[in-house]
């Protein structure tokens, strides 16, 4: 078994070598094109066009009487472009919404494709053997002729994207700006549509018609959890697709009865699941950790504000505060209070000795700042939103933690530098 694995991954077999090269090119180019569709919020178009392509493949076979990859690709691309035109026509010239138009075209074209495929399979033409593999993909069984054709199309996609990359980016993210600087926006969108259809047409060899939208969109969705940089996102999407493609091809190579497409999608799903959980930008754990840090910061600021206000009442900030006083002021549980105090002590905002809490200079300044912001917001809410004074505390407490120094200056300027809040408490000066 180990020798078998080595034969595949070391590319000892010439056929395996060709197949792996083709899969790397097909998956990478499809994932990159799919990333642009993902960013344009046209993810569903891949599903519709991939299903619509099936009758194009069948018609090409019926007209030529063979499975030459070039003619199959030509048929797929032509019918794919036709399906996109029909979707746009229905959307523009009727009251049917885009998602409904997508569903209509997908179901009608796919139904026609299945009918044509059934007709071909019952025709007795020996050349039709393997044509049904386009439903679920069979990349591991590609012949050299297939590899050359699909690889050339993949290279073409990558070259066009490289040449027009900057124009595509401007058009996708700011269509109006692209038009203002003289870019042919409509032509660029037309080119993107053609590239999408070509990517789908070559991708069905790897994953098939049914699962093509997964290869087109899933790598981009997974990559988005790791970066906000477009170039890095494209590279990651291509990498995820290539790893999944080679892994799926290996399973199909090791177990010839296994279709390639579903296994590629399974590996893509695994990568996406991992990305959703631990992605460094939008992953679940990172997002959860960020929320916890924000909540902890708010608790710490509220503790310092409470200590400052206790010091205001007794007009003394130097003597220690009792932890029991703090618990009465802020209704936090012992554990949350202990964690907040521990972190504040680590940041040199307070000093703890048994049951006593001492405010440091840093802690006093921070407590004064939060108290000041809280009371400024209370003034704003009563003065401009006309809220009663007894209804502004909670809103002000939510807003005081989310303000920049620049906004603080503007807020104070708008309020004309007030001295007291709606409860007649003094607003601390800087």
Considering 46-55, 130-139, 192-201, the range whose residues carry the highest mean pLDDT is: 192-201
Distance set, CA 279 to CA 39, 231, 243 (Å):
18, 17, 17
Residue 116 pLDDT > 70: yes
pTM for this entry: 0.76
Bigger pLDDT: 148 vs 222: 222
Asked whether the predicted pLDDT for residue 8 surpasses 60, the reply is no
pLDDT digit string, tens, across residues 260-316: 778 888 999 999 999 999 998 888 898 888 888 888 888 899 999 999 999 998 888
* Residues 287-315 as b or e (16 or more Cβ within 10 Å = b): eeeeeeeeeeebbbbbbbbbbbbbbbeee
pLDDT digits (tens, 9 = 90+) for 192-223: 988 988 888 888 766 777 678 888 889 999 99
The whole-angstrom separation of Cα 391 and Cα 145 is 75
List the structure tokens of 401.
């933690």
Phi (first) and psi of residue 411, to 5 degrees:
-60, -45
At residue 95, the pLDDT reads 86
Give every CB contact of residue 95 below 8 A, 6+ residues apart in sequence: none
Task: Give the pLDDT confidence of 155-187 residue by residue, as tens digits.
Answer: 999 999 999 999 999 998 888 888 888 899 889
- How confident is the model over 48-58, as a mean pLDDT? 85
What domains appear along the chain, each with residue ranges and CATH number? 2-282 (1.10.3470.10), 286-430 (1.10.10.10)
Instruction: Examine the pLDDT at 42 and tell me if it is beyond 60.
Output: yes
């Amino acid at each position: 078994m180990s020798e078998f694995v080595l034969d595949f991954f070391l590319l000892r077999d010439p056929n395996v070598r060709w197949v792996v090269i083709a899969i790397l090119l097909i998956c990478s180019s499809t994932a990159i094109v799919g990333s642009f569709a993902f960013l344009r919020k046209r993810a569903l178009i891949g599903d519709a066009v991939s299903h619509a392509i099936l009758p194009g493949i069948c018609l090409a076979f019926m007209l030529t009487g063979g499975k030459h990859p070039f003619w199959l690709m030509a048929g797929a691309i032509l019918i794919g472009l036709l399906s996109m035109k029909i979707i746009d026509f229905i959307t523009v010239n009727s009251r049917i919404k885009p998602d409904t138009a997508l569903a209509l075209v997908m179901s009608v074209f796919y139904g026609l494709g299945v009918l044509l495929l059934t007709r071909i399979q019952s025709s007795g033409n020996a050349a039709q053997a393997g044509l049904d593999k386009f439903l679920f993909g069979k990349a591991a069984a590609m012949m050299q002729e297939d590899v050359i054709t699909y690889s050339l199309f993949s290279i073409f996609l990558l070259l066009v994207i490289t040449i027009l990359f900057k124009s595509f980016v401007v058009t996708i993210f700011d269509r109006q700006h692209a038009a203002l600087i003289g870019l042919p926006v409509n032509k660029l969108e037309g080119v993107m549509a053609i590239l999408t259809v070509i990517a789908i047409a070559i991708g069905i060899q790897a994953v098939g018609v049914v699962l093509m939208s997964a290869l087109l969109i899933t790598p981009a969705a997974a990559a988005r959890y790791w970066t906000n940089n477009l170039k890095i996102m494209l590279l990651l999407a291509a990498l995820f697709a290539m790893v999944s493609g080679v892994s799926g091809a290996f399973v199909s190579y090791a177990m010839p009865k296994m279709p390639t497409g579903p296994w590629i999608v399974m590996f893509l799903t695994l990568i996406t699941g991992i990305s959703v959980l631990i992605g460094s930008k939008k992953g679940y754990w990172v997002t959860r950790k960020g929320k916890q840090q924000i909540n902890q910061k708010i608790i710490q600021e509220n503790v310092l504000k409470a200590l400052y206000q206790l010091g205001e009442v007794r007009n003394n900030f130097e003597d220690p505060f009792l932890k029991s006083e703090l618990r009465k002021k802020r209704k936090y549980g012992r554990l949350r209070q202990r964690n907040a105090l521990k972190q504040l002590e680590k940041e040199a905002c307070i000093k703890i000795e048994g049951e006593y809490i001492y405010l440091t200079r840093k802690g006093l300044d921070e407590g004064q700042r939060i108290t000041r912001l809280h009371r400024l917001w209370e003034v704003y809410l009563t003065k401009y939103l006309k809220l009663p004074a007894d209804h502004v505390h909670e809103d002000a407490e939510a807003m005081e933690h989310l303000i920049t120094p620049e906004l603080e200056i503007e807020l104070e300027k708008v309020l004309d530098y007030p001295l007291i809040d709606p409860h007649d408490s003094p607003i601390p000066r800087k």
